[in-house]
Structure 1
Amino acid sequence: PQNQPLGTRVFGPVARELRDKDFTRIVSLAPEAI
């Protein structure tokens, strides 16, 4: 757990919800960033 980057620990469970809500929006805004 401590070996993982801070972003991974924080966005682990959070990214799951954000992906469902903002994933589509992010891809629409910046499809080239993916």
Structure 2
Amino acid sequence: GYDLASKNLTIDDVLTALSDYSEKRDEMLEYILLEEYI
């Protein structure tokens, strides 16, 4: 978990968290779509 209120947070930390979230979201969307259409 990323603490967005942390003073030590860097741009890289934010980008990493966002890319991780994006990948997980995409995987979930693919899974949901497959479940719906199969």
TM-score normalized with structure 1 length: 0.29
Higher Cα radius of gyration: 2
Q: Which has the higher contact order (CA 8 A, sep 6+)?
A: 2
